[in-house]
Structure 1
Amino acid sequence: MTEYEKRSAPLTSRSSTPTILEAKESTAPEPPKQPLVPIPPRDPRLINWDGPDDPQNPQNLPRRRKWLVTAVCLTICVNVTFASSAPAAASQAMKEVFGASDEATYGVISCFLLGYAIGPSFWGPGSEFYGRRLVLVSSMVCYTLFFLGQALAQNMASILVTRFFCGFFGVAPLTVCGGVIADVWSAVDRGTAMALFTASVSLGPVFGPIVAGFIASSDVSWRWIYWVMMIYAGFCTAVVFFLLPETYPRIILEKKLKHLQKTDPKSVEGLKADRDLEDWSLQGIMERTLLRPFKMLLLEPILLLITIYMSMVYGVLYGLFEAVPVVFIERRGFTIWQNGLVFISLGLGNLTGATISWFMSRRYAKLVVEWQGFPPPEHRLYAAMIGAPALVIGGFWLGWTGEYASVHWIVPTISLYFLGMSFVCFFNSFLTYIVDTYLMYAASGLASNTILRSLVAAAFPLFTTQMYHNLGVNWASTLIAFIAVLLAPMPFLFFRYGARIRMKSKFAPCMDLKIAAARKEAGNQDTA
């Protein structure tokens, strides 16, 4: 089922928004007596659930099982993002052992993020064709094995190549786990799980320098950073293999159809699976996987502006792994492990951002019921309105306190708290805004967003250190802060004018606008 179908289901089944009874149980009020907007029903030729309480429907899993599935997703997302930043602590050691240049050591992070940029085009469609479980298990196995090439590497080229493939396979959880959460949680209950998911994506890069900093400062070889990452990845792979069920409704229904065709063929005579009605020619696959994301990026101003903003924010996050050592190691004489501890402030900011995002999403349960499952997506932007000024504050704060060694180290450290908070607020707001805006095209919108911001993030570590050396910590951070100032009004402008922009979109269904128009027309008829 597409996101559109799952969001449409409150009118016919329990596979998305709750019924009135369930809404009361979740403290949401009954929906107003308004005329419903006609929503295309599921094609009767397709296999469907056996009623709203079908135990095979992933949204009918017991609540404890849903949280277990969510915990698995959070665990592997922390793991793959942890691996993106951890090797930064080994840069100096690799430079000495291999005689590598500074640019080559910066490439250890950039090559991983380059894999992040290419992988989503494969893993997103792959999860729709083969299922979430198969893609996650196979990609995690390959991701784990490529750490061998890094731990045993005899030259810098081997590390860079294997880092790319680690990123390529490691981005699968970031691409697929959001879909897994949407598979098992209804739109009403999804807010907390999505806030935790966003926090996990941001917390992983924070843990990397902390753990790797202690390893690099100990008596063991720098190669143990890669061995630890491999052991951690192997543990997460086992967790996925044993604890993650298949959650994608289309794959479950397809397996159900095949089973019934063998055991009771008359009961499913004439029924088909979703994929039987789709174009699986090379041209059709290319349209859905490669062409549509870039077409949307070029034609959709909302998606383009959000992607530019998030790319800058994502670039700043990974640029910090090269900028923070300039502030604390070069200016203040911190050791590698002390420099890693500084990122705790960034992590605390991430947790605060997740809390803000969760708090802001609490009212969304009421809106889902009021709007028949399709609230205005602009209500997702409240956390981003807090994150926008926080990014500006953090940028200026880091620049003008980090430059001077006479300023106590705790002062620039606090600036990282505001930066960390802004990251999670942005990601949670804008990613869910993209999903709610484009519905059945959300996967393509998210793919284009992931590809572009990963490319930008891959570039940032290559020039961040030089920028901070040439401009100074004060002016380099001020440059980033000024860019943040220019982009800061965006969530406020989208909240005010987003509906008007969506009306002209070729990909946004605008169900909320259709519902509002139907209610207005019904009101005019009652008045007449």
Structure 2
Amino acid sequence: MANSADTKSASPPKPSYPPIPLWKLVIFQSAFTPEVLDHTYPGSGTLDDPYRVEWLPNDTRNPLIMPTWIKWMITIIQAFAFLSITFASSALSAADPQLEQRFAVSSTLVIADTSLFVLAFAIGPAIWAPLSELYGRQVVCILTYALTTLFSGAVVASTDIASVLVLRFFAGAFGASAITNSGGVVSDMFDARDRAVAMLAFIGAPFLGPSIAPIACSYLAVAAGWQWVAGLIAVFVGVAFVGVLFVPETYPPVLLRQRARKLSKLTGKVYKSKLDDGTKSPKAVIRIAMVRPWALLTRDPIVMLLSLYMAIIYGTMYMEFAAFPIVFVGSRGWTQANSGLSFVGMGIGQIIGVIISYLDNMRYKRVIDRLPAGTTVAPPEARLFPSLIGAVLLPISLFEFAWTNYPSIH
């Protein structure tokens, strides 16, 4: 039937060539094979009319048709790496009393640790996103996670609060590549119809990070001190860095660009990527990539409103990391070790949100099935339904939290 799911989904064909081993995918971006060299590309091979390099039919290097196990391995690694950064963002806040005592500073200054880390989240993506378009996601991820591990480890040896704040800021700035590049890696490997499930696996775990960090680290801070909490963060991020080393390049323009360079070197002819003809200078690519998000933000009301709404939600969540200890430790007399348990509700909410989103994705697929034949992507508004419910529940829950702040109310 014309409105069946098969006619809607533009799923990539299955590979007809032998799968490329993972180690070759990681080391060799061009994945050069005899089939690549023998393929007939459109063009004349000259500067005026270069050969336009494209994916071969059923090309095993095409991220969309890589083996499924490799796709999900990469998705899990990226989710874990993202989780390590979100965990690091709030983990040290569990040791605020120890930091105050060790460096003899006010609670206001110590809270700036989390604020600066999150502030770096806004600065980092403006750098890493354009660089990933120019040099690929693989090299940017490896570089940034290596530096995040380095700065996180250096926090352990800090001798004053200024060093802690500066090092945490840089750790957040380099770790912010997870916000932009990790999601891009997942999008590279899944088409629109199947991407939602992969994104749920990718987003669900990382957003648990800010919730589980205070639960785990509040006990550690009381038992062993703030340096052990900082050490745990460094180990967590370091393990994620090791995982990132096994993630191959997935950005198609960079992959085809590398293949074109290899073909040009071997044949002496001129090859250019079909997705990126190479006429733009690196400076132009970076300028366009940095300007485009701001143009969308200022010129598109929907982007502006949704970005503002997400900023408020994200900011509210991180303000709770400062508010919960005040309410439960200061007003209700909880111990510091037990104060992390106040974030259990937030973690449960994240899990419920993932389940609801998974179920809603089934509805989204039915929306696609009802669209005209040949349409593979539903309107963006089709995914908005769960947000409509959340938009009502969020202010109600915040009102309940404020209303029950008094110790006399359970």
CA contact (8 A) 1:174 1:201 kept: no
Query: 2:398, 2:312 → 1: CA distance?
Result: 12
What is the CA-CA distance between 1:211 and the residue it aligns to? Answer: 1.5
Query: 1:249, 1:284 → 2: CA distance?
Result: 16
Residue number among 225, 231, 237 corresponding to 1:227 in the alignment: 231
Deviations 1:23-71 (A, max 9, x none): xxxxxxxxxxxxxxxxxxxx976311011x1111011112222111110
Query: 1:176, 1:78 → 2: CA distance?
Result: 14
CA contact (8 A) 2:121 2:173 kept: yes
Q: In structure 2, what residue type is equivalent to 1:91?
A: D
CA contact (8 A) 1:70 1:193 kept: yes
In structure 2, the CA distance between the partners of 1:368 and 1:130, relative to structure 1 (3 Å rule), is: farther
1:167 corresponds to 2:179: no
Structure 2: gaps of 5 or more residues = 1-5, 15-41, 44-50
1:65-84 correspondence runs (5 A):
65-84=70-89
1:250 corresponds to 2:253: yes
Equivalent in the alignment of 1:47: 53
Equivalent in the alignment of 1:320: 320
Point out the structure with the larger helix share: 1
Task: Please give the root-mean-square deviation of Cα atoms over the aligned residues, in Å.
Answer: 2.4
Query: 1:396, 1:334 → 2: CA distance?
Result: 22
Equivalent in the alignment of 2:364: 364
Deviations 1:263-317 (A, max 9, x none): 4556xx554464444532635532331x332222221111111111111101100
Deviations 1:75-130 (A, max 9, x none): 00110000000111111111121121222101101111121111001111111111
Q: In structure 1, what residue type is equivalent to 2:336?
A: I
What is the CA-CA distance between 1:201 and the residue it aligns to? Answer: 3.3
The aligned length equals 369
Query: 1:302, 1:17 → 2: CA distance?
Result: 27
- What's the TM-score once normalised by structure 1's chain length? 0.66
1:17 corresponds to 2:23: no
Equivalent in the alignment of 2:407: 405
Deviations 1:335-360 (A, max 9, x none): 12211122122111001011111111
CA contact (8 A) 2:121 2:172 kept: yes
What is the CA-CA distance between 1:377 and the residue it aligns to? Answer: 1.1
CA contact (8 A) 1:133 1:246 kept: yes
In structure 2, the CA distance between the partners of 1:95 and 1:78, relative to structure 1 (3 Å rule), is: same
In structure 2, the CA distance between the partners of 1:58 and 1:119, relative to structure 1 (3 Å rule), is: same
Structure 2 counterpart SS, 1:346: helix
Equivalent in the alignment of 1:426: none
Q: In structure 2, what residue type is equivalent to 1:295?
A: A
Query: 2:266, 2:12 → 1: CA distance?
Result: 33
Structure 1 counterpart SS, 2:129: helix
Equivalent in the alignment of 2:31: none
CA contact (8 A) 2:149 2:237 kept: yes
Structure 2 counterpart SS, 1:189: helix
Structure 2 counterpart SS, 1:405: coil
Structure 1 counterpart SS, 2:262: helix
Equivalent in the alignment of 2:23: none
What is the CA-CA distance between 1:261 and the residue it aligns to? Answer: 2.7
Deviations 1:467-520 (A, max 9, x none): xxxxxxxxxxxxxxxxxxxxxxxxxxxxxxxxxxxxxxxxxxxxxxxxxxxxxx
Query: 1:270, 1:65 → 2: CA distance?
Result: 29
Equivalent in the alignment of 1:196: 201
1:56-205 correspondence runs (5 A):
56-205=61-210
Query: 1:339, 1:83 → 2: CA distance?
Result: 18
Deviations 1:353-391 (A, max 9, x none): 111111111233344463522321110101101211120
1:295-444 correspondence runs (5 A):
295-368=295-368, 370=371, 372-401=375-404, 403-408=405-410
Between the two proteins, what is the percent identity of the paired residues? 34
Query: 1:281, 1:253 → 2: CA distance?
Result: 17
